[in-house]
């Protein structure tokens, strides 16, 4: 078993990332005991340098971080943990502890996760003039109608072999599917898990055919 290289205080830094988005959530420290507890319970457990004690993320807030994977760097003195989180990573309520931009431009990359979160927010807190809020107000029949319309638009664009139009219509379809998911209480993690399950089955079938 690979041994970790702890510093003179018996600690090793741990970079924590969201397993779904790869966003860096926080930087914390582990000692041998917190490291072993993390592996045992699959819940991120750290050592507080200020309080001189162990602490489990989410123990007081409920925002637990469930361990997905743990990697060691080439010098064996730093860790990267990927987690599934039950809530915000930062004690301020922010999703990540890294929010203050010191150099460069802010990252405004549009992701499925960010769009899903925005759509969900429009359902939980409707805004006047918001198209998304309007769809939720009209209900599932209206949402299903839009999903059907956008699916047809994708087919039309693809049949015309119009790359730009097809990309545009696929984007509309993805958006409306996310609205449907939120309306039905379907989380992105459920879809990811279903796709992962299919990948495993497909891989197994392929291996059986090769035998």
Domain ranges of the chain: 11-85, 112-202
pLDDT at 207: 64
- pLDDT score recorded for residue 206: 63
Span 11-85 CATH architecture: Roll (3.10)
Instruction: Tell me how far apart the alpha carbons of residues 48 and 56 are, in angstroms, rounded to a whole number.
Output: 10
> What pLDDT, on a 0 to 100 scale, did the predictor assign at position 29?
98
Domain covering 112-202, topology: Helix Hairpins (1.10.287)
- Whether 112-202 and 11-85 are alike in CATH topology: the answer is no
- Give the pLDDT score at 23: 87
- pLDDT score recorded for residue 55: 96
Q: Please give the pLDDT value at position 46.
A: 98
Mean pLDDT by 10 residues, the chain (211 residues): 90 94 92 97 97 95 94 96 91 84 72 87 91 96 98 97 96 97 94 84 64 64
- Sign, CA dihedral 47-52-56-62, equals negative
What is the pLDDT, as a whole number, of residue 77? 96
């Amino acid at each position: 078993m690979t041994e970790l290289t702890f510093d003179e205080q018996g600690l090793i830094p741990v970079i924590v990332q969201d397993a779904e988005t790869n966003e860096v959530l926080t930087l914390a420290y582990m000692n041998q005991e917190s490291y072993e507890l993390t592996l045992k319970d699959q819940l991120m457990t750290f050592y507080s340098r200020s309080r001189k004690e162990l602490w489990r993320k989410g123990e007081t807030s409920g925002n637990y971080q469930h361990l997905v994977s743990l990697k060691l760097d080439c010098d064996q003195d730093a860790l990267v943990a990927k987690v599934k989180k039950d809530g915000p990573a930062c004690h301020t309520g922010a999703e990540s502890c890294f929010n203050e931009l010191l150099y460069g431009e802010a990252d405004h990359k549009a992701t499925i996760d960010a769009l899903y979160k925005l759509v969900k927010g429009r359902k939980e807190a409707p805004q006047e003039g918001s198209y998304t809020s309007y769809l939720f107000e009209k209900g599932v029949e209206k949402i299903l109608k839009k999903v059907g319309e956008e699916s047809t638009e994708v087919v039309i664009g693809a049949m015309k072999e119009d790359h730009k139009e097809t990309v545009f219509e696929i984007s509309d379809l993805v958006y409306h599917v996310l609205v449907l998911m939120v309306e039905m209480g379907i989380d992105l993690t459920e879809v990811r898990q279903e796709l992962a399950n299919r990948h495993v089955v497909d891989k197994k079938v392929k291996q059986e055919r090769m035998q």
